[in-house]
Amino acid sequence: MSKKNGYAIGVDLGGTNIAAGIVNSSGKVILREKLPTMAHLGGKAVLGRIAQAISCLMQKTDPKIRKEIKGIGIGTPGLVDHKRGIVREPPNLPGMDGMNIKKYMETRFKLKTYLANDANAYAVGEHTFGAGKGTKNMVCITLGTGLGGGIIIDGKLYVGSFETAGELGHVIIRKEGIPCLCGSIGCVEPYVGANFIAERARKDIKNGKRSSIVKLVNGDLSKITPIIIEKAARQKDKYAKALWNEIGSEIGTALISIVNTLSPEMVVIGGGVSKAGDILFNPIKEKFNKIGFKFLRKRVKIVPGKLSDDAGVLGSSSLVWNHI
């Protein structure tokens, strides 16, 4: 497929919302649509909602553009059978387990459809349109509710023998630590997810830690978010800065194992938590440079993602251009 012309539809399927867009081959989103997922209605209803979002785009776009749409890319939580287009065990979407999304969409729209785990789709997007463009080997990490990952090797998404590669949130960083939902203990994900960060701050403040965070939320600790903690850190709040340093250190520790194993040119870090910027990236790099191999730390670039708020749609659309 030529990357010089045409359009692709990208769909970012989440437990709360479905975001979809028409994207040109340069990575520009020319039309957007957003619908509530309504996961409580079951898997078939969610398939219908995805189709509805795509149909809305088709109806709103110029007929000339509609004729040039080359395919549909869908990023979804869970494990993905890429060839068959089946999703398995998607968090927050239990009714979708075992659903053949690819077959449904290809039958409905007569367009080739490609499916990937949402973090893998993001990695393909950053490699195609974002910070990793031009690299041969890269690792992508998404920091949101948890820690997701995607691996690009020789310019292609690596999914492994059982199509589950990239679960980087389950790199173990502590011998004894917090139990993880995967069944292991000491995975990095429970230490760096958005919910954990906010809950950690609430707990520490309740236990006596003094912080300007309390003033920023007018005493309502339920309103604490990573954004609030970042704001406090930028106001020189000692507790907030220390918390971000700790989170960055945990991520840096995980990166050492990841980089030692995969030897990428670049590590791209995106997702909502990454918007903390240098307050997060500085301690990540400090930890990585402190205990990583000197040869690697001089060569591996650790950079923020570039896809911003359209990351899910751009990542999913890039599946079309890259033929998983």
Residues 313 and 297 grouped into a single domain: no
Decide if 141 contacts 147 (C-beta within 8 A). yes
> Alpha-carbon distance 258 to 139, whole Å?
8
Residue 158 within any structural domain of the chain: yes
Question: Which domain range does residue 58 map to?
Answer: 7-130+309-322
The one-character DSSP state at 305 is: -
Residue 1 within any structural domain of the chain: no
Mean pLDDT computed over 36-50: 96
> Model-level pTM?
0.92
Decide if 121 contacts 316 (C-beta within 8 A). yes
Residues 70 and 205 grouped into a single domain: no
pLDDT of residue 4: 60
Residues 56 and 123 grouped into a single domain: yes
pLDDT band at 291 (very low <50, low <70, confident <90, very high): confident
Mean pLDDT of the chain: 95
The one-character DSSP state at 102 is: H
- pLDDT tens, position by position, 234-268: 999 999 999 999 999 999 999 999 999 999 999 99
| Residues paired with residue 11 on neighbouring β-strands, in sequence order | 20, 74
High-pLDDT (> 90) share of the chain, %:
90
C-alpha dist (Å) from residue 95 to 38, 241, 279: 11, 41, 39
Mean pLDDT computed over 10-16: 95
Cα atoms in the Cβ-side hemisphere of radius 13 Å centred on 250 = 26
Whether pLDDT at 306 is above 90? yes
- pLDDT tens, position by position, 134-176: 999 999 999 998 999 999 999 999 999 999 999 999 999 998 8
Whether pLDDT at 32 is above 50? yes
Question: Would you tell me how many other CB atoms lie within 10 Å of the CB of residue 119?
Answer: 25
Residues 231 and 142 grouped into a single domain: yes
pLDDT band at 284 (very low <50, low <70, confident <90, very high): very high
Residues 281 and 154 grouped into a single domain: yes
Residue 50 within any structural domain of the chain: yes
Task: Return the closest-CA partner of residue 254 out of 294, 283, 225.
Answer: 283
Residues 199 and 88 grouped into a single domain: no
Residue 52 within any structural domain of the chain: yes
Whether pLDDT at 1 is above 60? no
Radius of gyration of the chain (CA): 20
Residues 245 and 278 grouped into a single domain: yes
- pLDDT tens, position by position, 167-210: 999 999 998 888 998 889 999 999 999 999 999 999 999 999 99
Residues 80 and 178 grouped into a single domain: no
pLDDT band at 2 (very low <50, low <70, confident <90, very high): very low
Residues 155 and 238 grouped into a single domain: yes
Domain at 26, CATH number: 3.30.420.40
Residues 162 and 207 grouped into a single domain: yes
* The two structure tokens encoding residue 82: 């890429």
pLDDT of residue 109: 98
Residue 44 within any structural domain of the chain: yes
Task: Give helix then strand counts, H and E, for the chain.
Answer: 12, 12
Residue 42 within any structural domain of the chain: yes
Number of structural domains the chain divides into: 2
* The two structure tokens encoding residue 114: 């490609």
pLDDT of residue 94: 86
* The two structure tokens encoding residue 126: 């950053």
Residues 201 and 221 grouped into a single domain: yes
Residue 27 within any structural domain of the chain: yes
Residue 181 within any structural domain of the chain: yes
Residues 276 and 317 grouped into a single domain: no
